[in-house]
Structure 1
Amino acid sequence: MPAPWAEPEYNPSSKELLDRIVEVIGDASISSKDVQIKNVSKWVINEVVAERYHDGEDVFCLGDAVHRHPPVNGLGSNTCIQDAYNLAWKIALVEQGKAQRSLLDSYTTERQPVGQTVISRANQGLRDHDPIWDAIGRKEPTLEGRQAAWAELSEGSERGAARRERLRKAVDWTAHALMAVGVEMNQRYDSRAIYLADEEGPRPELPEDPILHYQISTYPGQRLPHAWINTRNPGKQLSTQDLAGKGRFCLIMGHGGERWREALKRVGEELGVRTVSWTVGWGLDYEDVYGDWTRRREVRDAGCVLLRPDRFVAWRAMDMVEDCEGKLRTVFRHMLGLDNPPPREDGHL
């Protein structure tokens, strides 16, 4: 049975609050004369995620409406903003008549698993502190037991060494809450808004510890990898992240990939979607000053990486293809749902 103070309807008396303060401090001499309770507020730990974020019609939910958890890891506001970033460009294209409503179905498909992961991680971050409290004796039921455990940490004995080792390991493990780059960055989308037909193999396996470590990849459905770039005459340092977003589909290519640029322009004009393209490499639009983009792009010089307006990889080509315009048209029509339009009201396609 949970402790009574874990229940939202529990209203402790002043004496119960004082008893709890005495228990925490460990000083039985404390009385109501020493403590003034000015206000009592409640905080209920949430561990809730919605099964779907979209009702199939015109209602879309995001943020705390679909995922609620404690602020451990600090993932709440970030996840809310990411929900909006995922949804906004899709609604815009559908409202403008440039995409079918099937594009909106990808919102729940892509974001609900992220919400589920964040909920689990945030609450596990709370639980990850339990071994610390145990190692310092905080979970001992009596004052004497807590004092004895605390004193043990200073002992030059095997018992003291074992307790100090438990504490060290417990503190080290909190890196999963404080430095959890993996849980923040290893988001992987798999929906119709991602084009996988040209991939020759499965999605790469996540790192051994996907909470701590980030898997950098341009595999479709993953985040655009960051790499520092600059102009040939060095100016303000930029990230590859700065090339994408801003409501546009972005194509990044290298030497020998220039044909992709004109193909993207024609397809974008044909479909009425905003596009931008950049070449990255020696003497091109941007210089790969540290070689990081070359190491992380996973495509050849003449290949390309197509990014959605939310900076997730939509599709990539390992090398130049003969009909690059036709290939881009196929990719865009698939993502926007234009390759499978709904039947007209008169029953015709």
Structure 2
Amino acid sequence: MPAKDRFKHLKANVPSLVLPAKKTSPLPPIVDLPDATTIQIDDKSVKLSKTELYDVSEIGRGQFGQVNKMTHMVTGKVMAVKRIRVTPDQAKSKSLLMEWKVPKNSVECPYTILFYGAFFCENDVWICMELMDRSLEELYHLVYDKLKESIPELVIGKMALSTLKALTYLHDKLNVMHRDVKPSNILINQNGEIKLCDFGIAGELVDSLAKTDIGCRPYLAPERIDEPQHEYDHRSDVWSLGITMYEIAMGEFPYPVDTLRSIFGLIEMIVKGSPPRLTSDRFSGEHKDFVAQCLTKSRDSRPRYKDLNAHSFIQTIENTGVDMHCWYTTILTKYNDDLPPDKTEPSATNVPELVS
């Protein structure tokens, strides 16, 4: 009998092997939230849940969720509501935690977006924040590309001051790095106030250092590109602030974007190339030096927040009255005057009449 058939007659008597079912325990919630909460709006204590919110429109959509413009029907308060899907994915869960934790713990900082409250609904976490008007990225494109104007130095200074104060607060009070500083994450409201937002990839510092390789590549500091596995500190955000302020001042990104799509392009331009510099005569020496200090290539030589807050450019701006509301309103008026009547942009605070 062939060897392969030797035990064939025993096959029918061999019971099937049944493995015990693997026991899985439910993942603990990354954020323990109720399905409704109580918040303070204009000194009133009111309930906040899905049933109290009227969905006006979608503002944006990203990798981890979407943001909608909504109205709290009891008070009429218009807010931005970020809806983030709860998932077992560790990276997304950490992002969700930071999106909730950082604004919640920054309510005393006037330079970060105001947090109203958060609740759990239909497997999503709803994070309710103040509604801003637009990002500085949208704003500078409006000014430079559509109106063919430039942003005054004093206005740029107020944008730098507000962002620097927000970053300083995160570092000093919360021991957190933002790690994604760029014009699209800095917002302006109808009052001309500038505020930092989007804390999904913010990182908590251990011994003042961070390590995770994360962030928007074109804004990364040289040390985060050249040595991505090495530890870095808040001075990497200082570099990103410098790139951001250059971009807003000049109305364009300092590097050819096509060359930054690969790690080789990043190394060639950011690590090996000369750092961007403001050279136009319309900028003061103080302004040029502030951006140059932020864009110091060596991390160890780059200034810390305490040094930047003491810089003469920031001190001058801090002691100079700038009517941001007037400037921003003027920009919107000019832009709307150039649009056809049916294309005029509504104010961010305009809300459709609610049906009772």
The verdict on a shared fold, with TM-score over 0.5 as the criterion, is: no
Select the structure that is richer in strand. Answer: 2
The TM-score with structure 1 as length reference comes to 0.23
The TM-score with structure 2 as length reference comes to 0.22
